[in-house]
């Protein structure tokens, strides 16, 4: 979810669900050690509960960055051992770390010793074409002994050579029973499944076997589904917020960010383009919000134009 789940995206998602844990895009230890810490760690207070996802492999560096995350107020530190991109592999972190469980364990222990908030790990069920359950079982067993109690498991292997990150989300087969087997073998651990889930029904089915479910791109492209989560999964009262009310709150936020940080609304609005997915006029609505020629207008004016475009489209359809 690099370049996707930034703080603006997370603010939008938090308007839809108050309960779900939100995760940052992966931040490398190098970026925090040598870059602009505030730029990478700044977030909106409304985003809690919020986890900082780190990419790295050196125990001392991970511990330092975990301390930064705790100092900035994050609720959890998550170590990425699942990203298959070649750029990440060259940095010796991501999915290739699954081949070195003791190295991961050393990093996890260093972080657990450094902070009082939970340290969790996100990983795949295997790497390349080896499909041995023993591989992921031993990885989880070794890392759990270092103090990690929560494992977020993408139910696909990561093929480290020959596939793009996009292909790695589609070509290696989904094998949910492997994740279910992990939960059965490690009942004391929190096992969260990720990968390929596209409906509330599928999520509910998975929750019969594991402790939680993580959604990524599905939640991004069809965000309105998140609006029912608090009621469905936490038995909260039904929210009566409409899509238009969410959109208006985003306009207020965009106007605020323009004043505080000179952030163009277009860089924020891109995250809510799926809000009207499946509704009549959604395409023309997206086109207006994506029109960079309107950047000089206020977001509230752009919203008015987007809704006017939807109304015109509906009128033409019934003419």
**Cβ atoms within 10 Å of 102's Cβ, excluding its own:** 11
What is residue 206's three-state secondary structure?
helix
Phi, psi of 255 (to 5 degrees): -65, -40
What is residue 175's three-state secondary structure?
coil
Beta bridge partners of 78: 53, 120
Alpha carbon distance 57, 123 (integer Å):
14
> Cis (ω within 30 of 0) for the bond into 49?
yes
| CB burial readout 158-182, b (16+ within 10 A) else e | bbbeebeeeebbeebebbbebbbbb
Catalytic residue among 83, 96, 148, 251: 83
Asked whether the beta carbons of 22 and 47 are under 8 A apart, the reply is yes
Alpha carbon distance 95, 81 (integer Å):
4
| Known active-site residue 83 | yes
Q: Where are the beta strands (DSSP E) in the chain?
A: 22-23, 27-28, 50-55, 76-81, 119-127, 150-158, 190-194, 212-214
Asked whether the beta carbons of 101 and 123 are under 8 A apart, the reply is no
Asked whether the beta carbons of 305 and 295 are under 8 A apart, the reply is no
**Cβ atoms within 10 Å of 132's Cβ, excluding its own:** 11
Residues noted as catalytic: 83
């Amino acid at each position: 979810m690099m370049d996707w789940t930034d703080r603006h995206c997370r603010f939008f998602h938090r308007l839809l669900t108050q309960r779900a844990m939100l995760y940052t895009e992966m931040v490398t230890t190098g970026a925090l050690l040598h870059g602009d810490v505030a730029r990478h760690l700044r977030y909106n207070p409304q985003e809690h509960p919020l986890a900082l996802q780190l990419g790295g492999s050196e125990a001392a560096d991970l511990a330092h960055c975990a301390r930064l995350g705790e100092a900035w107020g994050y609720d959890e530190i998550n170590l990425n051992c699942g990203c298959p991109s070649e750029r990440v592999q060259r940095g010796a972190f991501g999915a290739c770390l699954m081949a070195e469980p003791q190295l991961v364990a050393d990093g996890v222990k260093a972080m657990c010793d450094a902070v009082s908030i939970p340290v969790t790990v996100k990983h795949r069920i295997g790497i390349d074409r080896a499909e041995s359950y023993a591989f992921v079982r031993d990885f989880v067993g070794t890392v759990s002994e270092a103090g990690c109690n929560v494992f977020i498991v993408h139910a696909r292997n990561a093929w480290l050579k020959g596939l793009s990150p996009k292909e790695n989300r589609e070509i290696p087969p989904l094998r949910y029973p492997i994740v279910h087997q992990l939960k059965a073998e490690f009942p004391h651990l929190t096992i969260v499944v990720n990968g390929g889930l596209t409906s509330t029904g599928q999520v509910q089915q998975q929750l019969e076997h594991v402790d939680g479910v993580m959604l990524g791109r599905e939640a991004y492209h069809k965000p309105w589904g998140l609006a029912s989560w608090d009621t469905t999964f936490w038995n909260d009262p039904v929210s009566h917020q409409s899509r238009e009310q969410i959109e208006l709150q985003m306009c207020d936020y965009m106007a605020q960010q323009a004043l505080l940080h000179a952030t163009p609304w277009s860089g924020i609005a891109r995250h809510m383009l799926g809000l009207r997915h499946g509704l009549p006029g959604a395409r023309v609505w997206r086109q207006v919000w994506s029109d960079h020629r309107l950047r000089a207008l206020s977001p509230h004016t752009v919203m008015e134009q987007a809704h006017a475009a939807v109304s015109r489209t509906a009128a033409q359809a019934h003419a």
